[in-house]
Structure 1
Amino acid sequence: MAARSRTNRVYPVVTRISVTGDRPYDVVVGRGLEGELPAMIDGAARVAVLHPPTLRGRAEAVAKSAGVATVVPIEVPDAEAGKSIEVAARCWDELGAAGFTRTDVVVGVGGGATTDLAGYVAAAWLRGVRWVPVSTSVAGMVDAAVGGKTAVNIAAGKNLVGAFHPPAGVICDLDALDTLPAEDLAAGLAEVVKGGFIADPRILELIEADPARALDPHSDVLRELIERKIRVKADVVGVDLKESGLREILNYGHTLAHAIERRERFSWKHGHAVAVGMIFAAELGRLTGRLDDATAARHRSVLVSLGLPTSYDEGAWDDLLPAMRVDKKARAATLRFVVLNGLAKPGILSGPDEQTLREAYTAVAR
């Protein structure tokens, strides 16, 4: 079955993107996907549905579609405020009170922060039960919900406590984007842009051709961008689930981004921090002779066309450098960055000197 977009282009009602590996699953993209959940949770007697207050209605619809005897709704704080050990502990208490067993399922309805939390709650409960992210944001659909990385934040940094725990399936219902605030939709596209620079340049071409359609939740362009970025991530995590090598490339722009988020006490949108982080990483690649000037400059033009930030506080460097040293890619005292050796040619830069880092930061300092 197919449907026509506003531009009269025919596209499938449902797209299934397979993530391979030891525990393969499908990422389902489309509209009106209420009927997809039962097959993913087959055999469950109980389903816990984690959701922020703003998505209570959507969570109730998801719970109803599950078709199980017992649904345990668990309301959690929105965005990064929900990604804490304290919130996770409260969720575990609720699972215990409901008598959750190994055959039961945790479902996370929300953006990337909520699905990260849901995945970690599931990973730790009885040493791992099934879980399904029902993503409601662009960032969640193209990044957080795909790949099985689950985590919460602690004072020392973002996502430092977590587990690799692949989901039973991922539901990306594009209907959720119709009411997503424009700023959140744009922020999510930072992760899509990242996929363009590290693996699929067609993403960049689609955005450059018509940024307005990339930002339109009803457009076939946005759907194509989402599906392309999901495929980029699926190809990588299918080969390297536990970030032992190839998967590190997905952290392009994230070393500085996580430091910014920590400095801002997680009040900055993740996509905004990633946008700034990519400008920094591009300049670092350029300064070390790996990346050509034109591709480095292209970062700024693409991000600006989407209304994303490309600069940060000039006086923040002394706070950001030590925060970057606890990044997951660091080895002992050696900082490591994902940089580009050319368009769609990511690599690792290990141990750049501090002067080079400071000089690269001038590209984003304001």
Structure 2
Amino acid sequence: MAVIPVELAGREYEVRVGHGLLQSIATEAEPFLRKRHVCIVADINARANWGDAVSRSLELAGIEPRWFDVAPGEASKSWDSLACLTDWLLAQNVERGDHVFALGGGVVGDLTGFACAILKRGCGFVQLPTTLLSQVDSSVGGKTAINTPAGKNLVGAFHQPSLVLADLNTLSTLPQREMRAGYAEVLKYGVLGDRGFVDWLEEHGDAVLGMEQAPLEEAVARSVSAKARIVAEDERETSGARALLNLGHTFGHALEAETGFSDKLLHGEAVALGMVLAARYSARCGLMRGEDAERVTHAVDAAGLPAEISALELACSGGDLADHMQHDKKMDAGILPFILLRGIGSAFLDREVRLEDVAAFLDEQLQAH
């Protein structure tokens, strides 16, 4: 098992990465089980696969699990879901010193974390991420949010978990498409700040996607370590360091919005294609070599992820996609910062990108290939 500390000002928590952590959850999370019962918010699929193991461990320790089920998908990150969850938690008499557990992917983690951020002005929570995407990204760092008609993750709070248990066994139940979508975020850490990790993934990526234990644990641990370093430097995204984690997201969120935040394009797939577009746009602007941009494209394509925007068959223009970007939560004084690349492993924040130029670039990409 790998243990990665997330060191923040005045506090610290651990991310534990390994196999079989849920089967021993009563031991792993013992400091956060102060009552004879615990509230667990769970994706219904994650509960079907792992609920019995969690319940068994807790019940053997004399702790009653109380479950709140959440339907899969981004639609559950809504005002209605938030209201239902907070009402249920209040009915369970959750106190500020208690910890609520979140079992599932990023949707459950975001929803639960936000509910815990506002419940009685803040109670604790423990992340039990069951998808690769949530293990390497959303469960670490304290960003919690819900979606609104205006856009994704526009209402939320920074609220750090007290513990993250990333049980790699849970990934065995993922459809291959979900596994690949999570791999996009793994690749992102290399592209934005660690060229050596990209080299490693080019050699071991198939083993990671094939669920080989040692490469999988190393990939997740290295990804979490990369995010932990950035979060420790810039917890609330004020210095610009944490913004680098948004590589691929500005383009990706626009594509998600155009596809209705539906299964036509999963979040990780959107990020993968967004990284390709960020690399190509960087090369178009003369910021990075074209060969490096094509290397990013090849790495995305080799992982079975979408590498060409034209493959989505969108009935829109580059201007339509740029319009979606106007609602991005990173918009500041009318300027939308973009994460661009000077090379593989060298991302930076550019505040001088003109959306009209981005729209023209996207028109080129929509018509290419």
- TM-score past 0.5 threshold: yes
Deviations 1:232-275 (A, max 9, x none): 10000011110112100000010111122122221121011001
User: Where does residue 331 of structure 2 map in the other structure?
Assistant: 330
User: Which deviates further from its counterpart, 84-93 or 58-67?
Assistant: 58-67
User: Whole-Å Cα distance in 2 between the matches of residues 71 and 114 of structure 1?
Assistant: 17
Determine whether 1:270 maps to 2:243.
Answer: no
SS at 1:101's partner residue? coil
User: Whole-Å Cα distance in 1 between the matches of residues 16 and 364 of structure 2?
Assistant: 39
User: Where does residue 251 of structure 1 map in the other structure?
Assistant: 246
Matches within 5 A, 1:146-161: 146-161=140-155
Matches within 5 A, 1:43-82: 43-57=34-48, 58-66=50-58, 67=61, 69-82=63-76
User: Whole-Å Cα distance in 2 between the matches of residues 221 and 362 of structure 1?
Assistant: 39
SS at 2:186's partner residue? helix
Distance 1:86-1:316 versus aligned 2 partners, 3 A rule: farther
SS at 1:315's partner residue? coil
User: Whole-Å Cα distance in 1 between the matches of residues 123 and 279 of structure 2?
Assistant: 40
User: Where does residue 29 of structure 2 map in the other structure?
Assistant: 38
User: Where does residue 220 of structure 1 map in the other structure?
Assistant: 214
SS at 1:19's partner residue? strand
Q: Is the CA contact 2:184–2:272 (under 8 Å) kept in the aligned structure 1?
A: yes
User: Whole-Å Cα distance in 2 between the matches of residues 119 and 342 of structure 1?
Assistant: 35
Determine whether 1:261 maps to 2:282.
Answer: no
Q: Is the CA contact 1:119–1:131 (under 8 Å) kept in the aligned structure 2?
A: yes
User: Whole-Å Cα distance in 2 between the matches of residues 350 and 251 of structure 1?
Assistant: 14
Matches within 5 A, 1:165-314: 165-245=159-239, 246-267=241-262, 268-312=265-309, 313=314
1:33 shift after superposition: 0.8
Matches within 5 A, 1:7-46: 14-22=1-9, 23-34=11-22, 35-36=24-25, 37-46=28-37
1:199 shift after superposition: 1.4
Q: Is the CA contact 2:41–2:101 (under 8 Å) kept in the aligned structure 1?
A: yes
User: Whole-Å Cα distance in 1 between the matches of residues 267 and 83 of structure 2?
Assistant: 24
Q: Is the CA contact 1:329–1:337 (under 8 Å) kept in the aligned structure 2?
A: no
1:39 shift after superposition: 2.8
Is there any run of 5+ residues in structure 1 with no aligned partner, and where? 1-13
Q: Is the CA contact 1:53–1:75 (under 8 Å) kept in the aligned structure 2?
A: yes
1:309 shift after superposition: 0.3
SS at 1:341's partner residue? strand
User: Where does residue 319 of structure 2 map in the other structure?
Assistant: 318
User: Where does residue 104 of structure 1 map in the other structure?
Assistant: 98
1:276 shift after superposition: 1.2
Aligned residues, how many?
353
Distance 1:304-1:135 versus aligned 2 partners, 3 A rule: same
User: Whole-Å Cα distance in 1 between the matches of residues 227 and 31 of structure 2?
Assistant: 21
1:60 shift after superposition: 4.1
1:314 shift after superposition: 6.7
SS at 1:159's partner residue? strand
User: Whole-Å Cα distance in 1 between the matches of residues 251 and 292 of structure 2?
Assistant: 19
Question: AA paired with 1:20?
Answer: E
1:63 shift after superposition: 4.0
Q: Is the CA contact 2:338–2:351 (under 8 Å) kept in the aligned structure 1?
A: yes
1:315 shift after superposition: 2.7
User: Whole-Å Cα distance in 2 between the matches of residues 55 and 140 of structure 1?
Assistant: 13
SS at 2:68's partner residue? strand
Q: Is the CA contact 2:127–2:164 (under 8 Å) kept in the aligned structure 1?
A: yes
User: Which deviates further from its counterpart, 28-37 or 108-117?
Assistant: 28-37
User: Whole-Å Cα distance in 1 between the matches of residues 214 and 284 of structure 2?
Assistant: 38
Q: Is the CA contact 1:45–1:104 (under 8 Å) kept in the aligned structure 2?
A: no
Q: Is the CA contact 1:200–1:344 (under 8 Å) kept in the aligned structure 2?
A: yes
Q: Is the CA contact 2:317–2:363 (under 8 Å) kept in the aligned structure 1?
A: no
1:16 shift after superposition: 0.3
> TM-score w.r.t. structure 1 length?
0.91
Deviations 1:20-44 (A, max 9, x none): 0033100000011133443351424
1:364 shift after superposition: 4.0
SS at 1:250's partner residue? helix
Deviations 1:267-323 (A, max 9, x none): 121011001111111122122222121211111000000000022337342322121
Distance 1:259-1:326 versus aligned 2 partners, 3 A rule: same
